[in-house]
Amino acid sequence: MKFGGTSVGDQECIGRVVGILNHYHTAGDELCVVVSAMAGVTDQLHAIAAEIEGVRDDPPIDTFIASMRTRHGKVVQAVAPGESDAVMEVIDERLCNLKNILTAVYNLRELTPRSRDYIISFGERLSALIVSAALREAGVPSVALNGCEAGIRTTDRHGCAEVLPESGTHIKSRVVPLLAESVPVIMGYMGCTENGIVTTLGRSGSDYSAAIVGVAIDADEIWIWTDVDGVMTADPRVIEDARVLPDVSYHEAMELSFFGAKVLHPRCIEPAMQKSVPIRVKNTFNPEAPGSCLVDVSEPDHRVVKAITYIDKVSLINITGAQMVGQPGVARAIFSALGEFEVNVMMISQGSSEANISLIVDDEHLKAALAALNEVMQKGYIQEVEHDRNVVAVAVVGVGMAGTPGIAGRIFTALGREGINLMMLSQGSSEVNVSFVVKQADGQRAVRVLHDEFGLAEES
């Protein structure tokens, strides 16, 4: 069971989490827990790291450490009063390490990817201690493990490391023996390289930790506890009548999460899919609700379209140049350069005139993408590269779309009726998704129009 940031955001939330775990523990289930940092803490760690790299004097390190101590200390007092002194001692030790690394970054005015990963792993280092202590306080034996102790071995791609296959055996040998006597609480989001260097798995990476651990220990199910009732037909923050989907196929969930449905991390789905371990998404604030279940094949639905997502913080890149017409090797030059610069391309489309290729990359990769394309331009393969940051990518997802004619027509007619202009369009060959790009200002409206067009708010 994985609990996200809002689910462990304060003492009441952690109390709720303990109640849920206690319930299943008492019912005889063997449980393994993965936790995120308390809501907002990872953002604050990112921000302080960036800030102190740039300040000239008076780095706000002491104030920061004090605020972390106050927030976490208050929760410890509330949820684990019986062992609060002992827990605070460990928290102070951790905060001392954090202070030392922040001071080193300030002294050197250099924040390497390796130091950043170490710094941003502290949210989980603190939250897991507290959840584990709160469980013990409630009479449930528990130990806290960091990602590395739990056996999560990763590549050294700091900031978005990938879990290595050998993690499976490490996790199994370390975690399974604990399950009979206790409920281990593992710090999500973090792992380490073979040499023990701390890494993180990308924002929202605790879902990925949970899937890796769940599969490694042969869990019957992986439960992702969050702050909504399940995977929904759209982000409920954007579409107020979005509906919970009782079942979603792994493929659909993968497309949804890749295109911005924050409720699951895209990388958490594949490991579970490979072993057919069901992933259940449930609401900590409404535990009785059945939630959503990710399965191999979802129930067919006459609407064909299952859900609509959109992703902002992306950029559209338009590549033009007459040299591209009929020339083999141009696409290779473009994509190898982007690959060398480690740019993750989210969408690709090429017009049939071949004089134009459009790409979508996330904003973080824009600078590297432009540098890569500049090199391709220097080599004479392409002529012009333009970009636009004020765009969003919208995805319409549903496995039933494969082989159902007319869906694309309905999508574009509905958008056209509303005067929403399409800037780019792409359909994967799997046909599980049709995705397109519109101006940022039109993004939410596009989701609304399509949610209505396909009647997604209605119960089936």
Contact positions vs ligand ADP (CB under 6 A): 4-7, 36, 204, 226-228, 231-232, 234-237, 256, 261-263, 307, 309
Number of H helices, E strands in the chain: 14, 16
Residue 106 φ/ψ, nearest 5 degrees: -65, -45
Helix 84-108 vs helix 122-137: crossing angle, to nearest 10: 180
Count of C-beta atoms within a 10 Å radius of residue 150:
28
Partner from ligand ADP, ligand ASP, Mg ion, none contacting 7, C-beta within 5 to 8 A by type: ligand ADP
Q: How far is the CB of 390 from ligand ADP (least distance, A)?
A: 21
- Burial class from Cβ neighbours inside 10 Å (0-12, 13-18, 19+) for residue 221 reads middle
Q: Which is nearer to Mg ion, 95 or 128 (CB)?
A: 128
Nearest to 424 by CA among 362, 347, 352: 347
Q: Which is nearer to ligand ASP, 151 or 205 (CB)?
A: 205
Residue 167 φ/ψ, nearest 5 degrees: -55, -35
Q: Which is nearer to ligand ADP, 256 or 420 (CB)?
A: 256
d(CA 222, CA 22): 17
Q: How far is the CB of 364 from ligand ASP (least distance, A)?
A: 14
Partner from ligand ASP, Mg ion, ligand ADP, none contacting 391, C-beta within 5 to 8 A by type: none
Query: Interacting stretch for Mg ion, rule CB under 5 A, among 3-11, 295-303, 378-386, 432-440?
Result: 3-11
Partner from ligand ASP, ligand ADP, Mg ion, none contacting 123, C-beta within 5 to 8 A by type: ligand ASP
CB 204 within 8 A of CB 265: yes
* 358 is an interface residue for Mg ion by CB under 5 A: no
List 317's β-bridge partners, or say none: 359, 387
Partner from Mg ion, ligand ASP, ligand ADP, none contacting 237, C-beta within 5 to 8 A by type: ligand ADP
Q: How far is the CB of 227 from Mg ion (least distance, A)?
A: 9
87: its two tokens: 């827990």
Q: Which is nearer to ligand ASP, 157 or 203 (CB)?
A: 203
Partner from ligand ASP, ligand ADP, Mg ion, none contacting 283, C-beta within 5 to 8 A by type: none
- Burial class from Cβ neighbours inside 10 Å (0-12, 13-18, 19+) for residue 301 reads middle
List 315's β-bridge partners, or say none: 361
Q: How far is the CB of 119 from ligand ASP (least distance, A)?
A: 12
Partner from ligand ASP, ligand ADP, Mg ion, none contacting 132, C-beta within 5 to 8 A by type: none
Nearest to 287 by CA among 106, 21, 79: 21
Nearest to 148 by CA among 112, 192, 187: 192
Instruction: For residue 197, give the DSSP letter.
Output: -
Q: Which is nearer to Mg ion, 224 or 369 (CB)?
A: 224
Q: Which is nearer to ligand ASP, 265 or 306 (CB)?
A: 265
d(CA 312, CA 24): 38
Element (H, E) at 416: helix 407-417
Contact residues for 86 (Cβ-Cβ < 8 A; gap 6+): none
Task: Give the residue at shortest CB distance from ligand ADP.
Answer: 4
Q: How far is the CB of 227 from ligand ASP (least distance, A)?
A: 12
Q: Which is nearer to Mg ion, 44 or 204 (CB)?
A: 204
194: its two tokens: 């073979």
Element (H, E) at 115: helix 113-120
Partner from Mg ion, ligand ASP, ligand ADP, none contacting 235, C-beta within 5 to 8 A by type: ligand ADP
417: its two tokens: 């009726």
Q: Which is nearer to Mg ion, 189 or 436 (CB)?
A: 189
Q: Which is nearer to Mg ion, 38 or 80 (CB)?
A: 38
By the criterion CB under 6 A, which residues form the site for ligand ASP? 4-5, 36-37, 42, 123, 188-189, 203-207
> Which of 204, 209, 249, 426 is in the footprint of Mg ion by CB under 5 A?
204
Q: How far is the CB of 229 from ligand ADP (least distance, A)?
A: 8
List 449's β-bridge partners, or say none: none
Q: How far is the CB of 272 from Mg ion (least distance, A)?
A: 15
Q: How far apart, in Å, do the first and last CA atoms of the chain sit?
A: 29
Q: Which is nearer to ligand ADP, 31 or 263 (CB)?
A: 263
Q: How far is the CB of 201 from Mg ion (least distance, A)?
A: 12
Footprint on this chain of Mg ion (rule: CB under 5 A): 4, 204
